[in-house]
Structure formats: structure tokens, C-alpha cells
Chains A and B, each alone.
Chain A
Amino acid sequence: MSSRDVILGRVRQALGAEPAGPPAGPPAAPAAYGTGIDRGYLRRHGERTAEETVELLAENLTDYRAIVHRCWGTGEELADLLMRLLAERGAGSVLVPPELPPHWLAGVDATRVHDRAVSTPGELDRVDSVVTGCAVAVAETGTIVLDGSPDQGRRRITLIPDHHIVVVRAPGQVVSSVPEALGRLDPTRPLTWISGPSATSDIELDRVEGVHGPRVLEVVLCQDSR
């Protein structure tokens, strides 16, 4: 008998003595699943206007030591801001996802490195900064979620460079809570949830920012037209 069958057999046997209740063993009744669990918890915590939600996002991001910037519109002002932020970090090279709007980096001098499947981790390690969009941002937890869409690129490009700038379109991409965020995301995509820069508390519980992921996370909250 295969281990699979042995384990499934043990599971069945273990649950055999189950007292009356929902039928045990296959087929479980997943139909009943939707209603069987008491989901009396909140979809979001508190009522806020769209502006207040963005405000809360900014607050919680800052609390987790991300650096937050505001920007009115995704046009020239954003291009100027990104140029300034990259220059301030002395970025000589910047990773660019395939479909980052080209005008965002219009004023940037740094060498553009494109997200290509053939580039090795070693090559990516030599790039200073990365600029991406995002899929959704969660105000209550101060979290940015990337889903690998063409304006965000592969997971590794936001992992290896030491400096990551994320542009969040607000309020369109901002939700209040984790339940709201999950509802917007496609589980079949590889997702990366980022709450502040990489951190560790393993040494006497002193928080140290920046172990393996980018040590500097800058978030640009950009007013969109929606």
C-alpha cells in the first residue's frame, strides 16, 4: 500500500469514532462549508472615508519604518519625485518592471535594468534600486501587496536590491483590511505582502531593520483620478 493510502486510511480510521454531526470522511460536504463557520468577525475595523483610509495607511506604514511620500497625480509630479528619491539614494542603476509606465522614470539618470528571465541573482545583486507599482495596499496593517503584474515584475526584482520604491494609486488601490485585500487578489499569482522593510528581532528582541530584503522601503501615495 502506498504511503498516501496508508495516511488517508489512518485519517479515516481516526475519525471513524466521530459522534453524530456533519458526515465524516469523503465526500465532506464543502457545500455546507460556506455556512458552517461562524464568520461573525468584522470585514473592516471602523468606518472611514477614502481619505481617512489612505491616511491610516500612511500612518501604519510609517509606524513600520517605511518612508511615505505624497504625490498629486501620476504625471510630471510623480516623475520629479521618483527622480529626486533615486538621486537622494545615489542610485546608479534601477530595476524596471516590463510595464512600468515609461514616463514615471522620464527624469531619471540611473541606468535602467530590465526584468529579464535570464538575468542571474548575481546580476540583480549589483542593482541599487527598484521601482514598482502594486496590486493592493492594506490600511489597517500598513501592508503593500505585489502580485507579479507587469507593472511590478517578478518577485525577485523587489527582493534583491537594497532600495524599493512602490507607487500606490490612492484611493483606488487602498483597502481597509486584510479580508478586503484577499477578496481583491488572485490566488493563482505569486503574491508578496510587504509591511515595512525587512526586519529581525532575533537578538534580544531588539528590532533591526534590513536583514535580507531591501533595507529601505519608500512608498509613494499617488492621488489617482478615481
Chain B
Amino acid sequence: MSGTFVGMPAFPKAAHEAVRDTTLRANLKHATHTIRDKRARAVAELDDWAQLREAGKQIKDHTLRHLEHYLVQLEESVTAAGGVVHWARDAAEANRIVTELVRETGESEVVKVKSMATQEIGLNEHLEAEDIRAYETDLAELIVQLGKDRPSHILVPAIHRNRGEIRDIFRREMGSWGRPAPEGLTESPAELAEAARLHLREKFLRAKVGISGANFMVAENGTLVVVESEGNGRMCLTLPETLISVVGIEKIVPTWQDLEVFLQTLPRSSTAERMNPYTSTWTGTTDADGPQAFHLVLIDNGRTDALADEVGRQALRCIRCSACLNVCPVYERAGGHAYGSVYPGPIGAILSPQLRGTASEIDASLPYASSLCGACYEVCPVAIDIPEVLVHLRERVVEGGEATQRGTRVTLQPAKGHAVERAAMRAARWAFTHPAALGAGQRLAARTRRLHPRSLPGPGRAWSATRDLPRFPAESFRDWWQRTNGGKDTAK
């Protein structure tokens, strides 16, 4: 994964800086709380939510367990429907394939639908270096692109910007990318959206090449699915002559019927809507309707390494709804940039170190970017036990052990230096000054006792080599105090 933000400090340092940025914190708090509350209401409407969640989990687990079969089946069905399938083992290869495909069309600009996969591989930067201009067409991505910024949230990447900042960016930058912002543009969201509409429309109408990701790929018939709100997705999937979709190999579902689960859980978990305004599906090419050339680039880029980890594998179930970000007390304070990856928040904390390995300081610190309060697991529509994976990865960072890197089994050494312990201590310090999070964390600590490292990292290693570490009690003191009414009801 080439997506490490260059020069990125480890999570604790980046978070420390972000926490002092009061505008950022206010924007984030407002946003995450708003979506969080709406989501809870949207989910409560479906009384079979638990069953949908379980089915989603099982479908994804089954797919991952038989991934080879489904990848081959998908390749066959996409090809039969008129598409061309390409395989990329890493970011460099994916970028090279896409660049060549664009070159073959003779075009030097492309329109893009928001896609985590293309961000992960740094496609825009690569295309720019090859003199191909890639226009982001999702409003938030446009704000990020024009502001020469980085996305900070999976779903609303410009969540860290407020309307005044957005207006300034539009006024300053739109002109050098195409149609300038209208005279006298104010900060009203409706006017800002209108400015984006006008700015992008000329690009949509002339675009010959579109680049997208996909939320799902159906193995049995080769259908790809994009879920969106603004219609920029429909534009990019419909008007260009050539469509290139760059998708991670884990995005497969076996059957058309499986979409009935995810098209119910994804919109409610992400935008807290019963259904997002637009969903487009396409199966290869269709005569005279939509792009007449379709390329699917399947990327590995560390996914098979995650697949090789029996605990960590569950991160590949993720459908990128971002619900876990919105409930995470650490994300709410630190913001998305502190995670140093296109995948921020709890999912980023378990996905990035698996895709990229834990060699860098930032990746080694990510498993500590959590208070282990468990809220992310509760909201996850595919029931990824994020705390379990975090604890597992912490163990790997401090103790080393078996892992797979670029398809090769390796034995990792315990992390050198003290960055990790420092990270742990900072996280602990934060938690201790936030009693509610601490309470939740202790409760989880009790539940995950079997996962705790049995020896201390770094200098403590020799000491713990001959002694047992004290185990977490089955129940935290706070819980005991509450349950027993301050020790008065000890009989219970």
C-alpha cells in the first residue's frame, strides 16, 4: 500500500496536534454526532437488523474463504459480459495498468467517482506525473482536491472543513481547474453546491474516460455496483466511452441475491438513510447505453496478506460504511488525518497496518489508536470485531511473530525502540483523563483477557519472561462498584 502520507508522524503525535485544533474538533464533533444519532434511528426501523448483520458477516466470510473460486468466476462473468479484467498485485502495477488504459484512448483527462481504492494506490498523483488530469467529481473530494488537502473521513472526506473554508477554496482554486466560482459566491451550502455543479458539468459533458471503484461485484453474473448520492457517480458511469473500475479483490459477493443484504445495511449505516439517492449497477457493456469499453482492475495490494491472518482477515469484510468512525471517541478528537492513511478511524487502525505491514512508526502505532471501548464493533454492519483485531495487532507489534508480507511468510521481530510504548502510554493518558471511555475500555479489557500479551514489550521483556503479568480481572472495579451499589450488595 503506497498510501502512507509522506512524512506522517506516528498516530500519538499527529493526534496530539489535531486535538489542539479547536475548529477541527468542533467540525468533527458536530458531524460525527449528527450522523451517529441519525444512523441509530435508521437502523431501529428494521427489526431484523441483527439478522441482516449476521447474514452480511456470513456472506463475506464465505466469500473470503472461497476467494479464489469467486475471483475466477467473477473474471469469467465480467469477460462474458463484454468487460476486460486486469490483475494488479500492488499499487505500482495498478497505476501502470490504468495509465496505459487511459493512454490507449488518446485522452489526457479523466473524471473520477469517489473511490477509496484509487486513493489507496495514489492514482491521482500518479496520473498527474504522467500528464493525465484526474478530476474528482464527488463534492467533498472536489473540496479536498482543490484545497490540495487530504481526505479525513471515508464518507465525507471534507468533514474537517467548514462552509467558510470551502467558499475560500472555491473562490481561490476553481479557476485554475476549469470554470471559476461565480462572482459573489457566499457560504450558503446551496450556493456552494451549485458552484460545484456548474464547475463539474462541463467536465462531465466532454469526458471520454471515467474511473470508478465499486461497492460490490457480483461473481455469478459480473455485475458491479456503485452507491452514491450526488449523481456524479451516474455521470462518470454513464457518459464516458471508456470506464475503468479499480476494485479490491475483497469486494466480491457471490450472488445477485446477496445484494439484498448490503443494499439494506450499507445506506443505513453510512448516510443513515433508508436508501441513498442513487445506486447504479452495470454488467459489462450494454449496446449503446453507457460506456462501450469496460475495464476492471482487480487489486491485491496487501489484501492477501490480511487474508492470511486468521484474526485480522475479518477486516476484509468491511463495506466502508464509516459507521465506526462516527462512534469512535478517539477519531472524534484526533480527526482523520492523524491516522496517516486513506482509511482513518477504527477500520483504518486495523486495515492499514495489515495492508502495509507494521514496519513504519505510524503503522506500528495505529493499533494503539483506540480506547478499546467497543463502540465500533457494536455499529459495524458486518460485525467486524475491531477491538479483537486491535489487540491482536498490538501483540504482533510488541511480540513479533508470524505474518505474511507480499505473499511471503515472515517472522516479525518485536518493534524496536520505544515508539510503541510511547504510543501506548499516550493513549493510556488520554483514556485516564476521559473516565467514560476508560470505563468502557476496562469492560472490554475484561472481555478480551485471553488476548492480552503475556509478556511486556521492550525493556520489560526480561522481567516478564520469568513472571506472569497480572491478568485483568473478569470485571472492572467500576462495574463491580456499580453492580454492587458501592460494595453494599456484595451478596449479588
A residues less than 8 Å from B190 (CB atoms): 208
Chain B residue at minimum C-beta to C-beta distance from A43: B260
Measured between alpha carbons, how far is A26 from B70 in the docked complex, in Å? 9
A residues less than 8 Å from B307 (CB atoms): 10-11, 14-15
A178 touches B139 (CB 8 A): no
A187 touches B264 (CB 8 A): no
With beta carbons under 8 angstroms apart, the residue of A179, A182, A210 that contacts B197 is A210
A residues less than 8 Å from B308 (CB atoms): 10, 13-15, 17
B290 touches A155 (CB 8 A): yes
Given contacts A60-B274, A187-B223, A187-B281, A14 and B304 within 8 Å (CB-CB): yes
With beta carbons under 8 angstroms apart, the residue of A138, A187, A193, A211 that contacts B232 is A211
B263 touches A212 (CB 8 A): no
Given contacts A9-B407, A15-B307, A212 and B234 within 8 Å (CB-CB): yes
The answer to whether the Cβ of A128 comes within 8 Å of any Cβ in the partner chain is no
- Chain B binder among A67-75, A88-96, A101-109, A197-205: A197-205
A190 touches B197 (CB 8 A): no
Chain B residue at minimum C-beta to C-beta distance from A191: B281
The answer to whether the Cβ of B58 comes within 8 Å of any Cβ in the partner chain is yes
A7 touches B260 (CB 8 A): no
A195 touches B239 (CB 8 A): no
A residues less than 8 Å from B163 (CB atoms): 203-204
Chain B 252-267 interface residues, beta-carbon cutoff 8 Å to A: 254-257, 259-261, 263-264
A204 touches B221 (CB 8 A): no
Chain A residue at minimum C-beta to C-beta distance from B257: A182
The answer to whether the Cβ of A226 comes within 8 Å of any Cβ in the partner chain is no
With beta carbons under 8 angstroms apart, the residue of A187, A198, A201 that contacts B221 is A187
A11 touches B67 (CB 8 A): yes
- Chain A binder among B28-36, B177-185, B386-394, B447-455: B28-36
A178 touches B278 (CB 8 A): no
Interface string of B197-215 (1 = CB under 8 A from A): 1001100111000000000
A28 touches B249 (CB 8 A): no
Measured between alpha carbons, how far is A107 from B67 in the docked complex, in Å? 56
Measured between alpha carbons, how far is A40 from B48 in the docked complex, in Å? 8
Measured between alpha carbons, how far is A177 from B227 in the docked complex, in Å? 17
The answer to whether the Cβ of A156 comes within 8 Å of any Cβ in the partner chain is yes
The answer to whether the Cβ of A206 comes within 8 Å of any Cβ in the partner chain is yes
Measured between alpha carbons, how far is A162 from B162 in the docked complex, in Å? 28
A26 touches B256 (CB 8 A): no
The answer to whether the Cβ of B310 comes within 8 Å of any Cβ in the partner chain is yes
- Chain A binder among B49-57, B355-363, B432-440, B474-482: B49-57
A residues less than 8 Å from B54 (CB atoms): 38, 40
Measured between alpha carbons, how far is A181 from B279 in the docked complex, in Å? 13
Interface string of A171-188 (1 = CB under 8 A from B): 000000011001100011
With beta carbons under 8 angstroms apart, the residue of B156, B254, B261 that contacts A33 is B254
A2 touches B166 (CB 8 A): no
A204 touches B139 (CB 8 A): no
* B277: min CB distance to chain A, Å: 5
* B208: min CB distance to chain A, Å: 11
Chain A 102-124 interface residues, beta-carbon cutoff 8 Å to B: 117, 120-122
Given contacts A22-B65, A190-B282, A212-B200, A45 and B304 within 8 Å (CB-CB): no
A-B contact pairs, 18 of them (CB 8 A): A3-B88, A10-B407, A39-B55, A64-B273, A140-B274, A154-B288, A155-B289, A159-B234, A159-B235, A179-B260, A193-B279, A198-B278, A202-B143, A203-B189, A204-B163, A205-B34, A208-B189, A211-B231
Measured between alpha carbons, how far is A27 from B277 in the docked complex, in Å? 38
A213 touches B277 (CB 8 A): yes
The answer to whether the Cβ of B173 comes within 8 Å of any Cβ in the partner chain is no
Please name 4 further chain A to chain B contacts, defined as beta carbons within 8 Å, in addition to the given A9-B407, A24-B65, A187-B283, sorted by A numbering.
Answer: A140-B274, A197-B277, A198-B277, A200-B230
Give the most central of A2, A8, A138, A201: most B CB within 10 Å: A201
* B109: min CB distance to chain A, Å: 15
A residues less than 8 Å from B166 (CB atoms): 203
A10 touches B278 (CB 8 A): no
B275 touches A190 (CB 8 A): no
B192 touches A8 (CB 8 A): no
Measured between alpha carbons, how far is A196 from B274 in the docked complex, in Å? 11
The answer to whether the Cβ of B72 comes within 8 Å of any Cβ in the partner chain is yes
Give the most central of B58, B67, B261: most A CB within 10 Å: B67
The answer to whether the Cβ of B89 comes within 8 Å of any Cβ in the partner chain is yes
